[in-house]
């Protein structure tokens, strides 16, 4: 049973892994709401927003062809679920993934374009792939941003506004400047992992480069790979990590 601690009454936003989360939320909603009655400034329960997303490595421990198939399978599944559940929203990064969908299944791509127009499918990242964020040169990052944002603008009439490198192992101190020049105002990342790698005083903060450029950065307390049995603990953990000064957390 969900048992929020005293003081956990706030708005929480969980970056979660798609369908299992939405399905579990429907089953757990009444239990969660009843366990948090009386919370909030006006006695209301906290609001939990579930945002579907897919972090897919185009090539890592599989071949490029396998990565391409995973992108297509994921897109098909999500679009079908969004048709079945009108309240479902989804965020997806990496211009290369969109290009694969456009090349392989034009009709599926058109459905994604329609969902983006409706404000339900959100383009994030603003780069070709989620890159290594330590070794590449500034010019490499600039080209990543230029080509990806140019592609998104040509296909969706808009560019990404939220940087999204959830599995990059470290992040160069010059990134805020590059992100802002690329049209991105926010940055979502997971690593360094707070439990196993590096703990930080804040998970939501203004990240500033030496030139003074800054983006609002957020490291969600819960990472990817959300299994159905973990939903309750993840909701409580997200609420517990919501800073009072912000009132929300990914």
Paired tokens of 72? 């297509």
Give the separation between CA 121 and CA 131, rounded to whole angstroms.
22
Per the CB < 8 A criterion, the answer to whether 106 and 137 are in contact is no
Token representation of residue 133: 């964020």
Among the listed residues 167, 193, 203, 211, the single catalytic one is 167
8 is catalytic: no
For residue 225, give the 3-state DSSP assignment: coil
Are the C-beta atoms of residues 130 and 160 closer than 8 Å to each other? no
Q: What angle do CA 183, 137, 57 make, to 5 degrees?
A: 70
Q: If DSSP states are collapsed to H, E and C, what string results for 29-65?
A: HHHHHHHCCCCCCCCCCCCEEEEEEECCCCCCCCCHH
Angle between helices 64-84 and 95-104 (to 10 degrees): 80
Virtual CA dihedral for 138, 140, 142, 146, nearest 10 degrees?
Answer: 180
> In whole angstroms, how far apart are CA 118 and each of 2, 98, 221?
33, 18, 29
Residues taking part in catalysis: 167
């Amino acid at each position: 049973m969900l048992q929020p601690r005293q003081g956990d009454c706030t708005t929480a936003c969980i970056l979660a892994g798609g369908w299992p989360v939405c399905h579990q939320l429907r089953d757990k909603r009444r239990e969660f709401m009843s366990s948090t009655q009386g919370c909030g400034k006006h006695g209301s329960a906290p609001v939990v927003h579930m945002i579907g997303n897919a972090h897919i490595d185009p090539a890592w421990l599989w071949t490029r062809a396998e990565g391409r198939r995973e992108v297509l399978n994921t897109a098909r599944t999500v679009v079908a679920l969004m048709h079945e559940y009108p309240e479902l929203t989804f965020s997806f990064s990496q211009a290369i993934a969109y290009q694969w969908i456009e090349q392989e299944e034009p009709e599926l791509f058109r459905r994604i374009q329609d969902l983006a127009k409706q404000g339900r499918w959100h383009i994030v990242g603003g780069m070709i792939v989620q890159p290594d964020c330590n070794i590449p040169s500034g010019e490499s990052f600039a080209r990543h941003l230029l080509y990806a944002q140019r592609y998104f603008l040509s296909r969706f009439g808009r560019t990404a506004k939220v940087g999204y490198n959830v599995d990059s192992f470290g992040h160069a101190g010059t990134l805020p400047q590059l992100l802002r020049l690329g049209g991105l105002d926010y940055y979502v990342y997971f690593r360094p992992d707070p439990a196993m790698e590096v703990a930080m005083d804040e998970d939501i903060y203004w990240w500033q480069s030496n030139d003074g450029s800054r983006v609002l950065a957020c490291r969600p307390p819960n990472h990817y790979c959300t299994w159905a049995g973990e939903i309750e603990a993840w909701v409580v953990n997200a609420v517990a990590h919501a800073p009072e000064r912000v009132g929300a957390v990914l």
